[in-house]
């Protein structure tokens, strides 16, 4: 479902349901700001999603509306997850899809962490 960058937030989206414990996830990490879990359709040997625990549609929404400590805590969590996954040495890629051109499917801001093999060029050729 393509989404606009800013609210309103749909409390029925799949990540909101995971946060409420209504559907399961393969949890990797959790703290007060963030939850990390394996992507259900991995695009690399390691493909983990990190989501804030608070309801923001996209990076645009999160950056505009979340309190700065929540923003800092979230991005610190992303780096902690990559370290916990032992990806710092070989390297990894983070990605956040925002809106229609990026094919954002889930309207709850999230960062993808990819790793576990050389990841190739940053984008498909166009």
Strand 93-95 and strand 34-38: the pairing is: unpaired
CB of 111 to ligand AMP, least distance (A): 9
User: Would you give the DSSP letter of residue 74?
Assistant: H
Cross-strand pairs, 50 = 36, 111
Residue 111, classed as helix, strand or coil, is: strand
Tokens standing for residue 94: 């983070």
CB of 45 to ligand AMP, least distance (A): 15
Is residue 31 involved in binding ligand AMP (CB under 6 A)? no
CB of 54 to ligand AMP, least distance (A): 17
Is residue 12 involved in binding ligand AMP (CB under 6 A)? no
Contact 98, 110 (CB under 8 A): no
Catalytic residue at 110?
yes
Is residue 41 involved in binding ligand AMP (CB under 6 A)? yes
Which range in 58-66, 68-76, 80-88, 96-104 contacts ligand AMP by CB under 6 A?
A: 96-104
Q: Kindly tell me which residue out of 35, 57, 61, 104 binds ligand AMP, with binding defined by CB under 6 A.
A: 104
Contact 115, 82 (CB under 8 A): yes
Instruction: State the CB neighbour count (10 A cutoff) for residue 45.
Output: 9
Is residue 25 involved in binding ligand AMP (CB under 6 A)? yes
Binding site for ligand AMP (CB under 6 A): 14, 23, 25, 39-41, 49, 97, 103-106
């Amino acid at each position: 479902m393509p989404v606009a960058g800013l609210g309103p937030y749909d409390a029925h989206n799949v990540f909101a349901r995971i946060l409420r414990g209504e559907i399961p996830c393969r949890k990797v990490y959790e703290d007060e700001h963030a939850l990390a879990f394996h992507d259900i359709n991995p695009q690399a040997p390691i493909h983990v999603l990190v989501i804030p625990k608070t309801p923001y549609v996209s990076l645009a929404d999160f950056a505009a509306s979340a309190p700065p400590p929540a923003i800092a805590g979230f991005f610190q969590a992303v780096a902690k997850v990559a370290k916990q996954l032992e990806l710092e040495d070989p390297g990894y890629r983070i990605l956040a899809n925002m809106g229609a051109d990026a094919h954002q499917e889930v309207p709850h801001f999230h960062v993808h962490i990819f790793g576990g093999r050389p990841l190739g060029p940053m984008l498909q050729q166009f």
